[in-house]
Amino acid sequence: MPYSTLMRDFRRFARQSLRYRRTVALALLFAVLSAGGLGAGLVGIIPVLQNILQDGYTLRTLASRANDAAWMPDPLRMSDDFIASLTQDRFKTVLVIISGLGVLTLLGGAANFLHAYFSLTVVQRTVTKVRRDAFHRVIRLPLKRVVAGGASDIVSRIVNDTAALGAGLTALLSRAVAQVTKGIAGLAAAFIADWRLGLVSVAVAPLLYTIIRRLGKRIRRASREALRSQAGLYGAASEALQGLRVVKVHTTERYEAGRFHRINKRVMREMLRVRTARALASPLVEVVSIVVLGFLALIAAKAIIDGQLDPSRFITALIALGAAGASLKPLTGLVNDIQSSAPAAQRLAELLDAEPEPGHDSRLPRLPRHRESIAFEGVVFTYPGAAEQALRGIDLRIRFGERVAFVGPNGSGKTTLLSLVPRLFDADAGRVLVDGRDIREVGVRSLRRQIGVVTQEVVLFRGSVAANIAYGAEGVTRERVEEAARKARADEFIRQLPNGYDTELAEQGLSLSGGQRQRLAIARAILRDPAILILDEATSMIDAESEARIAEAIAEFHGGRTCLIVAHRLSTVLNADRIVVLDAGRVVDQGPHAELIGRCETYRQLVRHQLGGGSAA
């Protein structure tokens, strides 16, 4: 990735901080005040040293010279009587100046605090907005894009990359601004003390810039690879913990630990590359700085010996340059922090610039409630990265109110086909029609609001039982929630929970059994009052008795709706109006059970081995 592109993305997010103009202005103001106090303090050392080392200026002399200066505004000029009242004692002059420097130090400390306070406020607000925008975009990405990239990588971008971006913005807006303004103040004081020494010190800036830039490139490359490895690390940890039951029963703890260890070592290698570049930057800058100071000392020593340079001004210039160097030295690390965050900014920019899921354009017409048919015309679909098509020229028409069961071997395309109805995926070729209208030409929200889906893998969220049933149903009453639960045959076990419908569920609903979670999902679908009900092996985790009760609930709820079922058991197939047999992404036959059992070998094999039909064939 070219340097200009990476830094362009970082600058893009840095510009977002300008949304908070007032806070940014306050942060800059207090940074300048803090640096101004430092510069004034350094310049104030000159009369102190002159009074110590030689017959220098007293307060009266300093005030008189200031009064006569052309740059002094008239309102600030002092009266002759006031100047005459000032001391001419050298020690008292030093005491007054040092006291004034102490006051400046206190004011500078307060200004430094306020600068950090306001700049960090800007950083946190900016990062919070970026994180919000990233998540907002993610949940609107096409499912195909998420499947291709992996959820772990996306979560890593939202969590890890925004944290890395925040570190870079902190380095830029908080620490870098403070250090640069103080460095400029130190250089200005050095020029005031002796412009020749200041000019020689500035001449080394291009060399330092070259060193920092070259090391920065290495840091960016290593940081980009480290972020990618961290996404893999996050994915390995999430998969192992979410599937911990499977890991334990298959005794694969050692395998998962080894997999995590390999990815962790890859992250470590990339971070060590960053370490090398970071560790090298500071010593190189220090060596160059010391060489320059030594060179300046030789020049100054010759000038002092020849009587061409005031020793007090040389010492002041040296102190000012030291203060400038101390302020600018951390810039090496700060630039490295910014370079490290550039790959994170690039990954976040990719996410935010990704094309959102189609169908959310408010100008698209709404789809009226389904009442006629669902049709698949020449549908073809291939998953990202797959070598073969998942669906191959599907042609199928389903009448409104019909209950259709889809059966087929694993990988035959059953779930994929039904995923096209709510536009979780879009067909690569062909069309999906609802009541004769191509679903790509209507608003996707108006389509999905009339679809209820229950899948084999139930997704529950942290929150109460009632909130999970009401998920996605706006403004529903508690009575409707409980009614949906009764229809799904879930009310009985819910009331036995510690707080009934207000019981808080554990993550992913793991405090409930598989059958209980599935009944909550069915209750959620019932509450939506859908015109199209999709059941993707919805009773696969329920015992025979519970399945019978669920079958009763679905039979009651089925009236006036089109029901599409991926069948897992023979009893579900027998209750369907029509059975569609899929194999290798194609419809190989369709019809009632009695006809298929007599003419379709694929169906007979499914009944015998997969649907639990035994000798029914």
The enclosing H or E element of 395 equals strand 391-399
pLDDT of residue 170: 84
Find out whether 421 and 532 touch, Cβ atoms under 8 Å.
yes
Residue 402 makes CB contacts below 8 A (sequence gap 6+) with 562, 563, 577, 578
Q: Does residue 202 lie in a domain region?
A: yes
Q: What is the mean pLDDT of residues 488-507?
A: 85
> Does residue 494 lie in a domain region?
yes
Residues 347 and 463 in one domain: no
529, 547, 574 — which closes off a domain? 529
Q: Which residues contact 268 (CB under 8 A, 6 or more apart)?
A: none
By residue count, the chain amounts to 617
C-alpha to C-alpha distance for 395 and 417, rounded to whole angstroms? 11
Residue 140 tokens, joined: 């609107």
| Domain assignment of residue 425, yes or no | no
Token duo for residue 200:
């020689």
The mean per-residue pLDDT over the stretch 294-307 comes to: 64
Residue 206 binned pLDDT confidence (cut-offs 50, 70, 90):
low
If asked whether residues 333 and 466 sit together in one domain, one would say no
Q: How many helices and strands (H and E) does the chain possess?
A: 25, 12
In this predicted structure, what is the pLDDT of residue 70? Answer: 59
CB 434 within 8 A of CB 367: yes
Kindly state the tokens that stand for 325: 């160097």
End position of a domain, from candidates 300, 327, 351: 351
What pLDDT score does 196 carry? 65
Number of domains, the chain: 2
275 DSSP 8-state letter: H
Does the pLDDT of residue 617 top 50, yes or no?
Answer: no
Contact 465, 505 (CB under 8 A): yes
pLDDT above 70 for 79: yes
**DSSP per-residue letters across 356-407:** PPTT--TTSPPPPPP-SEEEEEEEEE--TT-SS-SEEEEEEEEETT-EEEEE
Query: Please, which pLDDT band fits residue 211 given cuts at 50, 70 and 90?
Result: low
Residues 338 and 462 both lie in one domain: no
Residue predicted with more confidence, 456 or 135 = 135
Q: Give residue-wise pLDDT tens across range 401-415.
A: 999 999 988 888 998
**Does a structural domain hold residue 384?**
no
CA-CA distance, 543 to 576, in Å (whole number)? 20
Whether the pLDDT of residue 272 is over 60: the answer is yes
Full DSSP string of 488-527: TT-HHHHHTSTTGGGPEEPGGGTTS-HHHHHHHHHHHHHH
**Mean per-residue pLDDT for 535-550?**
67
Angle between the N-to-C axes of helices 478-487 and 544-557, in degrees from 0 to 180, rounded to the nearest 10: 120
Structural domain of 11 = 3-351
Residue 529 and residue 549 in contact, taking contact as beta carbons nearer than 8 Å = no
For residue 576, the one-letter residue type is: A
Q: Are residues 319 and 462 in the same domain?
A: no
pLDDT(360) > 50: yes
Let me know whether 482 and 336 are in one domain: no
- Beta strands 578-583; 403-407: pairing state: parallel
Confidence band (pLDDT; 50, 70, 90) for 318?
A: low
For 433, phi then psi, to 5°, come to -115, 135
Residue 429 has pLDDT above 90, yes or no: yes
- Among 539, 105, 504, smallest CA distance to 323 is for 105
pLDDT (0 to 100) of residue 615:
47
Identify the pLDDT of residue 52.
47
Q: What is the mean pLDDT of residues 5-11?
A: 75
Is the residue at 50 inside a domain? yes
Range name among 37-51, 551-565, 570-584 with the lowest pLDDT average: 37-51
pLDDT of residue 229: 72
Q: How confident is the model at residue 288 (pLDDT cuts 50, 70, 90)?
A: low
**Residue where a domain terminates, one of 529, 558, 590:** 529
Pairwise CA distance, residues 343 & 214, whole Å: 16
CB atoms within 10 A of CB 563: 24
Do 43 and 164 fall into the same domain? Answer: yes
**Interval 17-42 mean pLDDT:** 81
Cα-based distances in Å from 554 to 8, 529, 539 = 56, 12, 11
| Any domain includes 356 | no
Which of the two residues, 359 and 390, has the higher pLDDT score? 390
Asked whether the beta carbons of 418 and 391 are under 8 A apart, the reply is no
pLDDT in tens, 96-135: 666 766 676 677 778 878 888 888 888 888 888 988 888 8
User: In sequence order, what are the beta bridge partners of 579?
Assistant: 405, 591
As beta bridge partners, residue 586 has 583
Between residues 205 and 178, the one the model is more confident about = 178
Amino acid letter, 594: A
Q: What is the pLDDT of residue 435?
A: 92
Mean pLDDT of the chain: 77
- Please check whether residues 113 and 230 belong to one and the same domain: yes
Q: Which of 107, 210, 219 is nearest to 171 (CA)?
A: 219
pLDDT for res 151: 75
Residue 68 inside a domain? The answer is yes
User: Which of 188-192, 383-387, 394-398 has the weakest average pLDDT?
Assistant: 188-192
Report the CATH number that the domain containing residue 301 is assigned in CATH: 1.20.1560.10
Same domain, 343 and 482: no
Residue 161: what pLDDT? Answer: 86
Of residues 200, 264, 191, the one with CA closest to residue 232? 264
**Which of 315, 322, 329 lies closest to 293, judged by CA?**
322
Q: How far apart are CA 339 and CA 593, in angstroms?
A: 66
CA–CA dist 520, 466 (Å, integer): 9
In three-state form (DSSP H/G/I as H, E/B as E, the rest C), the secondary structure along 60-119 is HHHHHHHHHCCCCCHHHCCCHHHHHHCCCCHHHHHHHHHHHHHHHHHHHHHHHHHHHHHH
CATH code of 492's domain: 3.40.50.300
Of 115-124, 195-204, 224-233, 448-457, least confident by mean pLDDT is 195-204
When pLDDT is cut at 50, 70 and 90, the band that residue 492 belongs to is confident
Q: Are residues 184 and 311 in the same domain?
A: yes
Specify the DSSP element, H or E, that contains 433. Answer: strand 429-434
The residue type of 464 is: S
Is residue 400 pLDDT above 90, yes or no? yes
pLDDT on residue 442: 92
Answer whether residue 255 is part of any domain: yes
User: What does the pLDDT read at residue 457?
Assistant: 76
Nearest in space to 404 (alpha carbons), one of 595, 603, 611, 564: 564
Number of CB atoms found within 10 A of residue 237's CB? 16
Which residues sit opposite 587 in a β-bridge? 582
When pLDDT is cut at 50, 70 and 90, the band that residue 616 belongs to is very low
Phi, psi for 587 (deg, rounded to 5): -85, 115
Token pair of 247 as six digits: 């890991």
Residue with tokens 């999906």: 432
